[in-house]
Structure 1
Amino acid sequence: MSKRILITGGTGFIGSKLVPHWLSYGHRITVLTRDPARGARRLGNEINFVKDFSEVTDKIDWVVNLAGEGIADKRWSESRKAELRASRVTLTESLVRWAKSSGQQFELVLSGSAVGYYGSVSGSTPSFNESSAPGTGFSASLCIDWEQAADALQEISERVVWLRTGIVLGQHGGMLKRMWLPFSLGLGGVIGSGDQVISWIHRDDYIRALDFITEHSLSGAVNMTAPYPATNREFTRALGNALHRPTLFPMPAFAAGMVFGEMSELLLQGQKVLPTALTTGGFSFQYPNLSQALEVVAAEW
């Protein structure tokens, strides 16, 4: 059955893949974007683009709240932290106000979050599932506040799901876009100890998991990660192999700290996050293994 769907972040790395996918199902899609003209050029004229929630006058069945400035795009100055918070928490609060004031009643809300919810650790233990306690640090507090903002939508929604997203792998975007050039030139290497864990998911599996959630009764937190997280050392080796390049240029921890400041926690620490809700629910990953996922991305780049 065709659904009326409102998507924030619809022109981003995940959204730009999700929108045409759901259009092919016959859904009617509205995308909130700062630049509707650019959105139309990128995604086509079948979509209703709006700059403000107040422009949405239709009854909406599903909300997909993916908007957010790239957390690793710039150093975490205080002003940058404010931008990250505004693009996630403040925007979600605006979504809640609009939805309640306009009398919306949603069937489903898929709201963004990240594996940073669990905090960051240096090694490969412990592992985290959806019932694990939140961590500490900026990434964790940002995710906690983001989820709490969306929690208010439970009053007017049949289901609310928090998408605790890992590193999403796909061509021409995400973390790989920043890594591709140095690794393709043979200049990549292990960061810090190399023992920190990267919880990742191929973008195609992410889209398939969203379909799965819409078709099943999952609610609450869902870890959007592949079943086999990898250490930074394993990730480095797998990416080098996918590109047929050596990985002989490590970045010591002190250098990462000097270059990236507080943001270096994203590089030097990680989380071993398991997709328990998805696997228990019966979801099957097309790309469960990192080497296979990276080889597919490399072939399509």
Structure 2
Amino acid sequence: MTKHILITGGTGFIGQHLVDQWLQQGHQITVFSRRPDWVEQRWQGQVYGVNTAAQLGERYHWLINLAGEPIADRRWSDARKQALRASRVDFTRDLAEWASTSGQQFEVVISGSAVGYYGGLSGSPEQQTVTEDDQAGSDFAARLCEDWEQAASLMAQHSERLLCVRTGLVLGPRGGMLKRLWLPFSLGLGGRIGGGLQYMPWVHLHDYCRAIHWLLQHPTLTGPVNMTAPESVTNADFSAELGRTLRRPAILPMPELSAKCLFGEMSELLLLGQRALPERLQQADFQFDFPQLAPALRDIKQRW
């Protein structure tokens, strides 16, 4: 059945792939974007772009709320922290206010979050292991995710079902974190960050898009969902595997002190981690096409 989908963050690395997927499935799509003209050019008029709530006047079946400034592209100044909050928390509250004012009622709302919800963890694998039942952490990224999910909870009264996807590092060709790592690792200039024992929850872009559509179709699932692959890897494991995939050594580590000097408070994202397991997806029998890192990286290399 054809659905009318409203997506925020639809012009980002993940959002564009979701829109492409839904177009192939024959759905009608509206993208909320600061660049509505770009939206209509990118999809040759097949997708409607809007940049104000006043332009949202139709009935939408699904809302996918992924809007948010990139969290790891620069140091976290006070102004940057405010921009990160405004683009996630404040924007999501504004969406809920629009839904209330307009009387909009969705079948499903999926709102973004991140594994940073659990806070930066260190120690043994057991000490870093978290599932959807674990509590939020206390660092900036954790508070940001918790507040984002709290804002999304306002949409519960405007939808039959609400989910918050706590997403790990999304790996795909020519985008996301790999876009930054590909060149230095291709030149043999890559390596672990700090001690390398911090876990890096990840998911292949292909599986992420499949899981989003799968969640939309499974009415028994609500609440938080970890969007991560089943195989847990440390930063050292990840660096070594990326080096093997590119047939280059990955033996040039970034010392912890260097990371802190370069990135300030944002270095927490690099030096600490979470072994976030996709417990709810697996309990619901979602099947990953790329449950392990090595085949995922080989597939991405072929598509680069």
TM-score class, shorter-chain normalisation, is over 0.9
Question: What is the CA–CA distance in structure 2 between the aligned matches of 1:6 and 1:44, rounded to whole Å?
Answer: 18
Pick from 144, 151, 154 the counterpart of residue 152 of structure 1: 154
Aligned length: 301
Q: Take 1:46 and 1:6, find their aligned partners in 2: how far apart are those partners?
A: 14
Quick one: distance in 2 between partners of 1:122 and 1:43?
A: 43
Q: For residues 175-186 of structure 1, what are the structure 2 equivalents within 5 Å?
A: 175-186=177-188
Q: Are the equivalent residues in 1 in contact too, given 2:171–2:203 (CA < 8 A)?
A: yes
Matched residues in 2 for 1:85 and 1:252: separation? 30
Secondary structure of the equivalent of 2:149? helix
Partner Cα distance (1:269, 1:21) in 2: 33
Partner amino acid for 1:299? Answer: Q
Q: Indicate the residue corresponding to 2:237 in structure 1.
A: 234
- 8 Å Cα contact 2:201/2:276 also seen in 1: yes
Q: Which amino acid aligns with 1:117?
A: Y
Q: Which residue of 2 aligns with 1:286?
A: 289
SS of 1:140's partner is helix
Partner of 2:132: 130
Q: Tell me by how many angstroms 1:35 deviates.
A: 0.8
Partner of 1:220: 223
Q: TM-score, length-normalised on structure 1?
A: 0.98
Which residue does 2:203 correspond to in 1?
A: 201
Check the 8 A contact 1:226/1:285 in 2, yes or no. Answer: yes
- How big is each residue's C-alpha offset from its partner over 1:23-59, in whole Å with a ceiling of 9 and x where there is no partner? 1111111000001122222233111100112201101
Question: What residue number does 1:107 align with?
Answer: 107
| TM alignment of 1:58-97, pairs within 5 A | 58-97=58-97
Amino acid at match of 2:200: I
In the alignment, structure 1 residue 272 sits paired with structure 2 residue 275: yes
One-letter identity of the residue aligned with 1:109 = V
Structure 1 equivalent of residue 248 of structure 2: 245
- Cα deviation for residue 228 of structure 1 reads 1.0
Q: Who is 2:301 aligned against?
A: 298
Residue 261 of structure 1 is matched in structure 2 by 264
Contact persistence 1:9–1:66 (CA under 8 A): yes
Q: Report what 2:32 is aligned to.
A: 32
Residues 92-151 of structure 1: CA distance to partner in whole angstroms, max 9, x if unpaired?
011001111001011000000000000111233331111111111000000000000010
Q: Give the corresponding residue for 1:143.
A: 145
Unaligned 5+ segments in structure 1 are none
Aligned partner of 1:48 in structure 2 is 48
Contact 2:39 2:48 in 1 (8 A): no
- 1:87, CA displacement in angstroms? 0.8
Q: AA paired with 1:147?
A: E
Query: In structure 2, what is the Cα distance between the partners aligned to 1:119 and 1:196?
Result: 12
RMSD over equivalenced CA pairs, Å: 0.8
CA distance in 1, matches of 2:267, 2:43: 34
Distance in structure 1 (CA, Å) of the matches to 2:242 and 2:140: 28
Could you tell me which amino acid in structure 2 is paired with residue 190 of structure 1? R
What letter corresponds to residue 286 of structure 1 in structure 2? D
Q: Could you tell me which runs of 5 or more consecutive residues in structure 2 were left unpaired when the two chains were aligned.
A: none
Give the counterpart letter for 1:167 in structure 2.
L
Identity of aligned residues (%): 52
Q: Is the 8 A contact 2:226 2:281 kept in 1?
A: yes
Conserved in 2, the CA contact under 8 Å of 1:16 and 1:43? no
Q: Aligned-pair distance for 1:80?
A: 0.5
**d(CA) in 2 for partners of 1:53, 1:10:** 16
Which residue number corresponds to residue 13 of structure 2? Answer: 13
1:117 aligns with 2:117: yes
2: CA distance, partners of 1:229 / 1:13: 23
